[in-house]
Amino acid sequence: MSVDLSLLNPEITLATLAIAVLILGLIIPKHARYGLSWLSILGVLGVLGLTLAGWENQGTLYEGLFIVDQYAIFFKVTFLVAAFLVALGSQRYVDRIGDQCEYYSMLLFATLGMLVMASAGDFITLYLGLELMTIAFIILVCFKRTDARSVEAGIKYILLAGMSSAVLLYGLSLVYGLSGSVLIPEVGRAVAQDLSPALLLGLVMLVAGLGFKISAVPFHMWAPDIYEGAPTPITAFLAAGSKAASFAVLLRIFVAALPGAWAYWTTLVAVLAAVTIIVGNLVAIPQTNIKRLLAYSSIAQAGYILVGLVTASEAGIKGVMFYAFLYVFATIGAFTVASYFYTATGSDEIKDYAGLSQRSPFMAAVMVICMLSMAGIPPLAGFVGKFYLFAAVVDDYLWLAFIGLIMSMVSVYYYLKVTLVMYRDDPADDTPIKLSSPVAVTLLITMVATLLIGIYPGPLSEVVNAAAHTFFLH
């Protein structure tokens, strides 16, 4: 049988790029390695172009192991945008903490893992992508080798990621043993025919393993510590990219493998979503460290995206995709401000943000816009995203809509506390913070995207509609 390798263009290019960056880093002298960051940034941009060019080119490879549909492509674009923004925003930061070449090649490998996850048609491919991503992230999380907290975060991440992988794998083995297949649609057929308790247990473990990645309550304990300890750009990528990738596979599993077990799931997911939203938002309130605050808020955000899974209808999937996309911009925007602020002042404490609106009005504005987008305040992107998500569930789960929307207004409280510090107080040290141009571009992109999607969401929603539609064609 012939294999249409053009479907794999993005993955192949990205893998080549990642290896090239790694090897070049070994060959070229240390002072010239700065060019590697540009190579990676432009390379990611190129892969993004390739992926977009393949929008109409859909198909399935290796008898269903690898699915390229517009759903997968949409998520790939999301990851690549995230990788691009993180890469662009972190040059200066990486200079301070270590080697450009290792950092960027690991970043590229993590992205590659995400791309594979988005296209996974069976559990083995899924696991492959997931581990590739996770292992690259483990290295990145402890990239600040001299900083005890970063190393501690790395160790925690290894242990917990290992444990969650173990749970996931155990679940997989149960599923395989009882259904006789690792292909997601095949498993779906087995589930529909005969749902034995052991199979159900396997599926539960699968979901638990992925629940860890999206940091849904009660699998969220790791997130704040690791988000706080990791280098900030990596935290951003972890929060945006890794989470979006896990949602991509979670949706595939839910819709393709579990329709037979639907009755068991919906209420459970609805409750999980509600608990995640409540816990994330409430625990964020007392935080004094900006990274921890954003970590908890990103837990809450995961809860919102989970809402779209509750119905797993086309409307729900659309909500998930739409929200995941805009969430990337909001998260990376906020974390990039935090990361650059750290580079400039060496602090992550919210109280040190005093007077940021006078030291750098642009950074303060981006921070406010990104945070309020997460809170779902119009005219920012988050509002439309939440509208789509809750429109999907309001018929059957009215209480969830109430909880979600009320809690999102509660979240405004802690976002406004940061705003208060940035705008009201006078700075202790009023030297202006000068932005380097790549960071300024990153922030500009996140801000403009957040505003634009919020004010004029039409085009994006059409793309998402089309992509969500292809999802049901298999």
Q: Which residues bind another protein (CB under 8 A)?
A: 357, 368, 372, 377-379, 383-384, 387, 390-391, 394-395, 398, 401-402, 405-406, 408-409, 412-413, 416, 419-420, 423-424, 455-458, 461-462, 465
Are 290 and 340 a contacting pair, CB within 8 Å? no
Amino acid at 253: I
- Helix segments in 285-397, DSSP class H: 290-311, 314-345, 356-359, 361-375, 381-393
> Would you say 18 and 101 are in contact if contact means Cβ atoms under 8 Å apart?
no
User: Which pair of tokens denotes residue 198?
Assistant: 């052991």
Q: What's the CA gap between 465 and 243, in Å, rounded?
A: 21
Supply the minimum distance, in Å, between the C-beta of residue 371 and another protein. 10
Radius of gyration of the chain, Cα coordinates, nearest whole angstrom:
21
Nearer to another protein, 231 or 319 (CB): 319
Q: Which is nearer to another protein, 121 or 355 (CB)?
A: 355
Nearer of residues 238 and 372 to another protein, judged by Cβ: 372
- The distance from CA 401 to its chain's CA centroid, rounded to whole angstroms, is 23
Residue in this structure with the two tokens 């998520």, named with its chain if needed: 75
* CB nearer to another protein: pick between 183 and 317: 317
Q: Which is closer to another protein, CB of 357 or CB of 442?
A: 357
| Cβ 279 to another protein shortest distance, Å | 18
Supply the minimum distance, in Å, between the C-beta of residue 96 and another protein.
32
- Least distance to another protein, CB of residue 379, Å: 5
Residue 390: CB minimum distance to another protein, A = 5
Q: What Cα–Cα distance (Å) separates residue 390 from each residue in 327, 376, 469?
A: 16, 12, 19
Query: If you count them, how many residues does the chain have?
Result: 474
Residue with smaller CB distance to another protein, 58 or 358: 358
Q: Which is nearer to another protein, 173 or 461 (CB)?
A: 461
Other Cβ atoms less than 10 A from the Cβ of 220: the count is 24
**CB atoms inside a 10 Å sphere around CB 113:** 24
Q: Least distance to another protein from the beta carbon of 383, Å?
A: 7
What is the closest distance, in whole angstroms, from the C-beta atom of residue 407 to another protein in the complex?
8
Long-range contacts of 448-451 (CB under 8 A, 24+ apart): 449/326, 449/329, 449/381, 450/326, 450/329, 450/330, 450/333, 450/369, 450/370, 450/373, 450/380, 450/381, 450/382, 451/369, 451/379, 451/380, 451/381
Give the residue with the Cβ less far from another protein, 424 or 434.
424
Q: Using an 8 Å Cβ cutoff, are 65 and 117 in contact?
A: no
Alpha-carbon distance 4 to 6, whole Å? 5
- As given in the structure block, the two tokens for residue 145 are 């080798």
The two structure tokens encoding residue 74: 């949409």
CB closer to another protein, 244 vs 377: 377
Beta bridge partners of 67: 60
- CB 297 to another protein: min, Å: 16
Report the nearest approach of another protein to the CB of residue 417 (Å): 9
Between 113 and 404, whose beta carbon lies closer to another protein? Answer: 404
Report in angstroms how near the CB of residue 48 gets to another protein at its nearest.
25
